[in-house]
Amino acid sequence: MENSNNNNDINNYNKIFKTELTQGEFNKLGQFIMSEYGIKMPPEKKIMLQSRLQKRLKALAIDNFKDYLDYLFSPHGMSEEVIHMMDVVSTNKTDFFRESTHFDFMLSEALPRLTKDLSVKNVKIWSAGCSSGEEPYTLAITLSEFKEANNQIDFSIFASDISTLVLKTAINAIYNEERIKEIPLVLKKKYFLRSKNHEEKKVRIIAHLRNKVEFARINLLELTPVREAKYHIVFCRNVLIYFDRATQLKILTSLCSNIVKGGYLFLGHSESITGLDLPVAPVVPTVFIKN
């Protein structure tokens, strides 16, 4: 009897994972994701979307996409399920010290200028699209290193993402040891704690740095320009590539309004603002200063 139940479970599992997303269902989902979150869903992403959403069908014990869409667009689905859907749909790839030239520029150019030439005492940074936290914690490490030689300054970091799933990882700040293998040993010893269980091969960001970073779930498409700028540096790297040009302009306009005059905007190395009317000027590739 036990084997029979196990076979039924396996058959049900396979049935769910053979469910296909029809073209009509893909179009409906794609239009919704684009209109609400600004993320492009071209035809070639149909298989990707189908594969990732299988996790949600399985979690909800729903065996077809028609029923899933009915649930998603119900009042309860729009308040709860849409968050889980975006957790699996959004792409989250990041590393510590990714595109390291940006952090080199911060130490050699941006931070000295802000703190010495502009007399900033408390550097405020926003990591927009922070994923699982590697970027804001790299920023915290960079600021901590700078502060050691400039002890009259302080800093705070705000980090946001659309995915609650990756934000949980970011808040916990626990990572596989493999994730920090490229970080210099001196920084590992200063800013990471090893698990007492060495077989786990886990590390955690030290409490002092964790306390310097505040996390929140934010949909960048819902941003509106602000009257009073707050941040000296905004990182929005490898996020804009998922949006069309009009959406990029909308998001960047709002982000730039949050940057103080003379502050910096950092984009990913594959991103460009050529042709966009924004109040910034290039300093070095993918780094801009607010006019």
User: What does the pLDDT profile of the chain (291 residues) look like in tens digits?
Assistant: 444 444 454 444 444 445 788 999 999 998 888 888 877 788 888 888 888 898 889 888 988 999 999 999 998 888 888 888 887 777 666 889 999 999 999 999 999 999 988 899 999 999 999 999 999 999 999 999 999 988 789 999 999 998 888 999 999 999 999 899 889 999 999 999 998 887 788 999 999 999 999 999 998 988 999 989 999 999 999 888 878 889 899 999 999 999 999 999 999 988 989 999 999 999 999 999 999
d(CA 120, CA 225): 23
**Annotation marks residue 98 as catalytic:** no
Choose, from 113, 161, 194, 217, the residue flagged as catalytic. 161
Residues in the chain: 291
Four-CA torsion 57, 61, 66, 72, nearest 10 degrees: -70
Q: Is 39 helix (H, G, I), strand (E, B) or coil?
A: coil
Out of 1.10.10.350, 1.20.1250.10, 2.60.120.10, 1.10.155.10, the CATH code matching 2-89 is: 1.10.155.10
d(CA 291, CA 262): 6
Choose, from 9, 52, 56, 63, the residue flagged as catalytic. 52
User: CA dist 277 to 171, 248, 252, 273, Å?
Assistant: 35, 11, 10, 8
pLDDT value for 103: 96
pLDDT value for 10: 40
Whether pTM exceeds 0.85: no
d(CA 262, CA 232): 8
**Annotation marks residue 52 as catalytic:** yes
Burial 76-105, CB ≥16 within 10 A → b, else e: ebeeebbebbbbbbbeeebbbbbbeebbeb
The total of other beta-carbon atoms located within 10 Å of residue 280's CB is 20
For 121, which DSSP code? S
pLDDT value for 91: 66
pLDDT value for 18: 56
Q: Which residues contact 197 (CB under 8 A, 6 or more apart)?
A: none
d(CA 203, CA 174): 6
Domains of the chain by residue range? 2-89, 101-290
Instruction: Judge whether 243 and 40 are in contact, CB under 8 Å.
Output: yes
For 101, which DSSP code? H
Q: How is domain 101-290 classified at the architecture level of CATH?
A: 3-Layer(aba) Sandwich (3.40)
Element (H, E) at 131: none
